[in-house]
């Protein structure tokens, strides 16, 4: 295993961690939207992460003094909660669509589980290498 392999693994681990943070925040936002589905005038919220992540990765510029230095993962996109300002489908001004929220929750749960599975695989592989397969 070379320094570059370790750096790549750390980059992947940092990316998974940030993505898990985004999925967790998204789950909380969806739960809040569902809880307020019947609140008059409530405007739903959503988590913005994937677009800023893509832009960050496309324009990644890790500042290092040496090619052997590893990046710290701080260049990843920011997680932000934004209000959905689209017009409401209901007369009371509430714009939360319960069906869309449930679909988003299912998708978010699958993403979270996939990320956890990948993180566990990485940890198991490191443990296997460190212990020599014992």
pLDDT tens string 70-128: 454 455 778 999 999 988 878 999 999 999 999 999 999 999 999 999 999 999 988 88
For 32-61, how does the pLDDT look when each residue is reduced to its tens digit (9 = 90+)?
999 999 999 999 999 999 877 777 777 765
pTM above 0.85, yes or no: no
Q: Give the pLDDT of residue 74.
A: 54
Q: How far apart are CA 125 and CA 128, in angstroms?
A: 5
Take residue 31 and report the two structure tokens written for it.
């739960």
Listing DSSP states for 57-68 in one string gives: HHT-----SSTT
Q: Give the pLDDT of residue 70.
A: 47
3-class DSSP state of 28:
helix
Q: Give the pLDDT of residue 82.
A: 95
């Amino acid at each position: 295993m070379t320094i570059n392999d370790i750096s790549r693994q750390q980059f992947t681990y940092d990316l998974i961690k940030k993505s898990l943070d985004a999925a967790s925040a998204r789950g909380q936002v969806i739960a809040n939207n569902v809880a307020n589905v019947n609140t008059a005038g409530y405007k739903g919220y959503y988590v913005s992460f994937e677009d800023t992540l893509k832009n960050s990765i496309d324009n990644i510029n890790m500042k290092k003094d040496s090619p052997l230095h590893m990046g710290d993962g701080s260049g990843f996109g920011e997680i932000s909660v934004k209000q959905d300002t689209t017009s409401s489908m209901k007369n009371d001004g509430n714009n939360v669509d319960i069906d869309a929220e449930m679909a988003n929750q299912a998708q978010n749960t699958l993403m979270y589980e996939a990320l956890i599975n990948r993180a566990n695989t990485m940890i198991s592989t490191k443990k296997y290498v460190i212990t020599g397969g014992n």
